[in-house]
Amino acid sequence: MLKFRWLATEEKRNIVSVVNSLPDPVFIMDRQGRYLDVLGGTERSLYDNPGYLKGKTLYEVLPEASADHYLSMIHSALDTGTIQVVEYSLMPDTLKNNPGDGPRHLQWFQGRISPLHTGEGPPELILWTVINITEKKQVELERDRAMADLEKALAEIRTLKGILPICSACKKIRDEQGEWHPLETYISHNSEADFTHGICPECKHKLYPECCRDTPGNM
């Protein structure tokens, strides 16, 4: 097995010891999606203890649709010899046989799937390195929500532009559909302006002359 090859010398044992101390997990997997070795993943605020994965396949851990997707990415990495990058979310409670000693809410991860060359010939193993990006993802989602709220608010801001057809007699305004509306109704509906009614001095004098006879300027 691959692990015994790594343990062939003291130097390699030291390397494995260092990797096992990493806060983020590292998986060594074969073409069938089986976890041959599980290293690192010591940070319990970000990860469950990943040791339970060793020897299992993706299908023994994840829902079938998710396992199909990740297995196809493993095959892409092996067949093309390129690194595949995947961003995914996991709810810890949905993982089969999960020890449950890590975070209990939805977590986001970025995985990098690299072909692992262990000798001559094309690689048949991959190295899957994981980074927990939950905090970064939450910031992105909050930013997206704020942008959506801003776009909604901007869409609700209506302004009047251009030439408005207005009746010279009754002062109604014609809309784009050819309907006529009272001036106050049209402006209130198509802007953020509201109306309060008063009376100007000229109209007051014209309509209520008896109220204006004793006011200054009308003597």
Question: What pLDDT, in 10s, does the model give residues 34-85?
Answer: 999 999 999 999 999 999 999 999 999 999 999 999 999 999 999 999 999 9
**What's the confidence (pLDDT) of residue 214?**
57
Average pLDDT over residues 16-30: 90
Question: Could you tell me where in the chain the CATH 3.30.450.20 domains are found?
Answer: 2-133
**Among the listed residues 32, 26, 33, the one whose alpha carbon sits nearest the alpha carbon of residue 3:** 26
3-state secondary structure of 88: strand
Query: Percent of the chain at pLDDT above 90?
Result: 51
Exposed/middle/buried for residue 22 (C-beta within 10 Å: 0-12, 13-18, 19+): middle
- 61 close to 53: Cβ distance less than 8 angstroms: yes
Q: How many helices (H) and strands (E) does the chain have?
A: 7, 7
Only one residue has tokens 């390195």, namely 129
Q: What is the CATH number of domain 2-133?
A: 3.30.450.20
Query: Does 5 score more than 60 pLDDT?
Result: no
CA angle 179–184–189, rounded 5-degree value: 65
* Confidence tier at 166 by pLDDT (50, 70, 90): confident
Determine the average pLDDT of the residues in 122-133.
Answer: 95
Q: What digits encode the pLDDT tens for the residues 104-123?
A: 999 999 999 999 987 778 89
- Residue 128: count other Cβ atoms within 10 Å of its Cβ: 22
